[in-house]
Structure 1
Amino acid sequence: MKIIKSLLIAGSLLLGTVHAAPNDFLVSTDWLEKNISNPKVKLIEVSVNPGVFERAHIPGAINFEWHTDLVDTVRRDIVSQQNFETLLRKAGINNDSTIILYGDTNNWFAAWGAWVFDIYGVKDVKLLDGGRKKWETENRPLVAVTKIPNVGNIKVSVANTALRARLSDVVAVAEKKSNIALVDIRSADEYSGKVFAPAGVQELAVRAGHVPGATNVPWGQAVAADGTFKSVDELKKIYAAAGVDGSKPVITYCRIGERSSHTWFALKKLLGYDVRNYDGSWTEYGNAVGVPVSNPAGTVWGGK
């Protein structure tokens, strides 16, 4: 099998197709620049800040707006199977494409995108390690013009609900009815209930604190100074120190599910653990009536 794989890689190099990637789920900025002209490589930017893509983006990239393209715009839910497939085809994605996702804010919403891609069974999806920031810091090429791709032929699967946690799953953990490791990846102040949410955000809950039984491992502990993921050995040590070692299933959550997607990616894709992302996160849980809440700081909502 190893011989066949080596021959396939060698053949790809000779044909000018995709170079061998560093691993199955991440590519480096150097790898991407070398492969950027390959027609099988499809580059998708998923950023949170408005206008970032329009000002300049990596050559060949297509823009997905997380709050309209990757979600249902009427009810709180992920994008439907049909709409997602249409979105990908318009982006020129085929069944044999290698899809690279990247974005601003340390790839939070790019990781959210990777989670949605995973839910719908799309294969060969990777994150650009370090995201947009690392690409820019290294002064790699950016363009302002977006080329309209030819329509792709990709077919996506029915949603895999096993990758998604619901409110009832999390309440079961809080009530000690489920043996699942719950990882709150928000800041220490959010976890303790000192603050309801980071300053300036729109999505809020009327209760502060965390889900009882959740351990706090802020998402930033998983990345190095340049925004790239730490090594597998480092990641294992970080999460094992918090009692998360892959011996039982894991649920990650944050405020609206985007930061927790980043940790989901680290635990699921890089460490291979059994992980679900709770995209309802604290804005659902902290607004739910009658659920258990731990609020060490004792902060009380003032209705303002």
Structure 2
Amino acid sequence: MKREAVEPFVDVEWCKQNRRRVVLADVRWYLDGSPGREAYDGGHIPGAVFVDLDRWLSAEGSPLEGRNPLPAPHDFALGMREVGISDDDIVVAYDDAGGVIAARLVWMLRATGHNSAILDGGMASYKGPLETEHPSRPTGHFTAKPWPSARLAEIHELSTEANLVVDARNRDRFEGKQDPIDPRPGHVPGARNVPCRENLDASGKLHSKAELLRIFAAAGIASAENVISYCGSGVTACHNLLALEFAGLGRGRLFTGGWSQYGHALELPVELGPA
């Protein structure tokens, strides 16, 4: 029996209508190292489980692989089981940043054939009282699957003219005006800048499909077929990939190492300034 496809973004009303089929996942995580777990413990959407990005959605970082390489499939599956997620669940993930962090879990699940979506608008879209209790869920039945090579890109592919490389970081980091995290400022030569946070409106909700198409067209993107998305370390780059899919442009590929890998490869060229 063919499984129903779920859009990459869903709203609170959709979750209410499908509440018996949905597992809510809180994926709050902060680049400055502030613990997402503390934010979750302080109040989360009722019924949501906490998914620790550093523990379950990333392997240990290194200059060679970047700050947040993908975990081993076994480790990812173990994490999903531990929080009570099973193969047949529909996972709707949220954060307090409009979904740009939660996108990492959603992309990982969708890339391995699981139904998952970002809660459009994140925590702010939920208007009811938050809870501090941890939901009691049985251990999940989640199958470890290899990361699909067709959805990933390697560092050497960033310099291939056949690919359109898209940088999801904010414009100041893309242009090399500042970079407080990585060893070199700038971006991959020839990359286009589509800051993932600009996929959202002032309320933190995703723009309409028509507006997303306009944003991507302005960056020269008419199809995701040859797109490689990167960011600092393979987290927020997932938001651009999901937005491309939502807009009907298809599925691009993720360069997980991001600038945290590329910037350490001192033999590779760097470009400064706007695209």
TM-score by length of 2: 0.87
Q: Which has the higher contact order (CA 8 A, sep 6+)?
A: 2
- Equivalents in 1 of 2:22, 2:94: separation in Å? 13
1:154 aligns with 2:142: yes
Residues 33 and 292 of structure 1, relative CA distance in 2, 3 Å threshold:
same
Aligned to 2:9: 26
Runs of 4+ deviating beyond 4 Å:
none
SS in 1 for 2:56: coil
Aligned residues: 262
* Cα distance per residue 1:108-155 (max 9 Å; x no partner): 221011122233x142111111111222xxx22311001221122232
**In structure 1, C-alpha distance between the alignment counterparts of 2:55 and 2:264, rounded to whole Å:** 23
What is the aligned partner in structure 1 of residue 44 from structure 2?
57
Q: Deviations over 1:186-244 (max 9, x none)?
A: 222212211124xxxxxx22211111111112212211122111111111111111111
Q: Is the 8 A contact 2:26 2:51 kept in 1?
A: yes
State the 1:288 CA deviation. Answer: 0.7
Are 1:43 and 2:24 matched, yes or no?
yes
Give RMSD over aligned pairs: 2.4
Cα separation, 1, equivalents of 2:251 and 2:18: 31
From 90, 96, 106, the equivalent of 1:114 is 106
Matched, 1:195 2:178: yes
Aligned partner letter, 2:45 = I
- Find the counterpart in structure 1 of residue 93 from structure 2: 101
> Alpha carbons of 1:270 and 1:157: their partners in 2 closer, same or farther (altered >3 Å)?
farther
Larger radius of gyration: 1
SS at 2:55's partner residue? coil
> How far does the alpha carbon of each residue in 1:85-112 deviate from its partner, in whole angstroms, 9 at most, with x for none?
1221222223321111111222122101
Cα distance in 2 for partners of 1:248, 1:99 equals: 26
Equivalent in the alignment of 2:267: 290
Would you say the 8 A contact 1:191–1:210 is kept in 2? yes
Report the alpha carbon displacement of residue 156 of structure 1 after superposing the two structures with TM: 3.5
What CA distance in whole angstroms lies between the structure 2 residues aligned with 1:233 and 1:296? 28
The residue identity in structure 2 corresponding to 1:143 is E
Distance (whole Å) between structure 1 residues aligned to residue 224 and residue 9 of structure 2: 24
Q: Distance in 1 between matches of 2:234 and 2:143?
A: 26
Give distance in 2, aligned partners of 1:247 and 1:85: 28
Counterpart in 2 of 1:71?
A: 58
- Determine if contact 2:51/2:83 at 8 Å carries over to the other structure: no
Give % identity: 29
Listed as ranges, the matches of 1:136-285 within 5 Å are 139-170=127-158, 172-173=159-160, 178-197=161-180, 204-246=181-223, 248-285=225-262
Match of 1:201 in 2: none
CA distance in 2, matches of 1:124, 1:31: 14
1:249 CA drift (Å): 0.8
Contact 1:249 1:273 in 2 (8 A): no
3-state SS, counterpart of residue 232 of structure 2: coil
CA distance in 1, matches of 2:227, 2:220: 11
Cα distance in 1 for residues equivalent to 2:187 and 2:171: 10
Q: Secondary structure at the match of 1:274?
A: coil
Which one has the bigger helix percentage?
A: 1
In the aligned structure 1, how far is the partner of 2:249 from the partner of 2:56? 28
Structure-1 separation of matches of 2:246 and 2:154: 21
Distance 1:122 1:92 in 2: 18
Q: Which amino acid aligns with 2:109?
A: F
Q: Which runs of 5+ in 1 are unaligned?
A: 6-19, 198-203, 298-304
TM-score, length-normalised on structure 1? 0.79
**For residues 85 and 296 of structure 1, do their structure 2 counterparts lie closer, same or farther at Cα, with a shift above 3 Å needed?**
closer
